[in-house]
Every structure is written in C-alpha cells, then in structure tokens.
Structure 1
C-alpha cells in the first residue's frame, strides 16, 4: 500500500493550478527549501487553512497579470 504524502490536498491544489512547488514558494516569497520542508510534515489545521488561502490568492493575482 502506498503511503500518502503529508499535506496532499495542498500539493494537489498547487498541481491543479498548474504550478510547481518552487514557483509557489517564489510567489509567496518563501525560500524553496523552506517551503519544501514545511510540506514534509502534516500542518496544523490553522496553518493549512492559511496556506490554502494564500495559494488560492496566487491564482487570482496571476489571472489579473495575464
């Protein structure tokens, strides 16, 4: 049985928006390695909600820039 990665819903969200993790880190102004480590362990619900909200804002911002 394949083990589920931590924060899979965040990873799926990033992928569905057409981003790579490094691109999201750059847009959030977080070092790529810090963002990767952040996703390694399951986040607390409050942290997860914040990150999902921030990532969803990126989609809005990028649509405006196109």
Structure 2
C-alpha cells in the first residue's frame, strides 16, 4: 500500500522540544529562536509565539535539555 504524504494527518509527524535553540547558520552565530518549538511533519518549525520558520531558513536545532 502506498500513502501520499498529503493523505496522512500532519499531527502524526510532530516533534516537540521544550528547550531548544534554532540556528540560521552552521557557526551558531545567528540564533533565530530560543525556547519551545514544534517541528511539523512538513518540515516547518513553529515557535512558542506562533511564528513559523521555513525549513530553508533553519540550519539546525539544538535540544538544550
């Protein structure tokens, strides 16, 4: 059986991190957000203020547990 990514509920692919740092570059000089984040199934990242970051804007996310 084959599934289209659009046919599956996006809630199945959500990853939440309570304490994260979202970086825009590899050198860790550009911090886009510090705090809780939700990584959505489509690759977009939702921060605690409700703002969404495109996967293209983010270099990496560090989990600060």
Give the TM-score, by structure 1 length. Answer: 0.23
Structure with bigger gyration radius: 2
Q: Which has the higher contact order (CA 8 A, sep 6+)?
A: 1
Between Structure 1 and Structure 2, the one with more strand by share is 2
Between Structure 1 and Structure 2, the one with more helix by share is 1
Give the TM-score, by structure 2 length. Answer: 0.23
